[in-house]
Amino acid sequence: MSTDRIPAASPHARSTRPVYTGDARTGMFMAEFESGARVSVAASRARAYPGLSSTAPSTLPFYTALEGLDVSGPILDAGCGAGEGARALLQAGRPVIAVELDQAAAHFAREYAPGAQVIEADLCHSVPASHMAAAIVADTLGHAADPEQFLRNVRQCLAPNGTLLVAEPHAHLAQRLVAPARRAFTKQELAAMLARAGFAVDGWLSTAGTFISCIARRVEDPLLAAMDRAGELASRGAFAEARLLLAATRTERGAMALELLLAQGELALAEGVGDIAARAYFQARDLEPNDARALTGLSRIALSVGQGEDALRLAMDAVHAQPASALAAATLAVVGERLEHPEAFSAWRAAVNLAPDDVGIVTALGRAAAARGEYHYAICAFDRARAYGDDFGSDFHVALGWLLLADGRRHDAALEARHAQALAPDDSSARELYEAARVPHVD
pLDDT of residue 70: 86
Q: How far apart are CA 144 and CA 100, in angstroms?
A: 12
Domain-embedded: residue 312: no
Beta-carbon-side half-sphere exposure of residue 405 (alpha carbons within 13 Å) = 22
CATH number of domain containing 165 = 3.40.50.150
Q: Are residues 26 and 152 in the same domain?
A: no
Q: How far apart are CA 396 and CA 408, in angstroms?
A: 19
- The residues that bridge with 321 in the sheet, in sequence order, are none
pLDDT of residue 391: 84
Q: Are residues 422 and 370 in the same domain?
A: yes
CB 226 within 8 A of CB 172: no
CA 373 → CA 344, 402, 429, distances in Å?
Answer: 15, 12, 21
**Peptide linkage before 114 cis (omega within 30 of 0):** no
Give the Cα-Cα-Cα angle 303, 325, 187 (nearest 5 degrees).
135
Domain-embedded: residue 391: yes
Give the Cα-Cα-Cα angle 340, 344, 347 (nearest 5 degrees).
165
Q: Where in the sequence is the domain holding 418, given as residue range(s)?
A: 356-443
pLDDT of residue 12: 40
Q: Are residues 32 and 85 in the same domain?
A: no
Is the model's pTM score more than 0.75?
yes
pLDDT tens series, the chain, 443 aa: 333 443 343 334 345 789 999 988 899 999 999 999 999 999 999 999 999 988 999 999 999 999 888 888 999 999 999 999 999 999 999 999 999 999 999 999 999 999 999 999 999 999 999 999 999 999 999 999 999 999 999 999 999 999 999 999 999 999 989 899 999 999 999 999 999 999 999 999 999 889 999 999 999 988 999 999 999 999 999 999 999 999 999 888 888 999 999 999 999 999 999 999 999 999 999 999 999 999 999 999 999 999 999 999 999 999 999 999 999 999 999 999 999 999 999 999 999 999 999 999 999 999 999 999 999 999 999 999 999 988 889 999 999 999 999 999 999 999 999 999 999 999 999 999 999 998 665 55
Domain-embedded: residue 313: no
Domain-embedded: residue 263: no
Q: How far apart are CA 404 and CA 399, in angstroms?
A: 9
Work out how many domains the chain is built from and give that number: 3
Give the Cα-Cα-Cα angle 280, 282, 284 (nearest 5 degrees).
70
Q: Are residues 66 and 189 in the same domain?
A: yes
CA atoms 222, 236, 390, 407: torsion sign: negative
Q: Are residues 64 and 38 in the same domain?
A: no
Annotate 380-391 with DSSP letters as a single string: HHHHHHHTT---
CA 38 → CA 29, 42, 163, 353, distances in Å?
Answer: 10, 13, 35, 37
Q: Are residues 38 and 68 in the same domain?
A: no
Domain-embedded: residue 68: yes
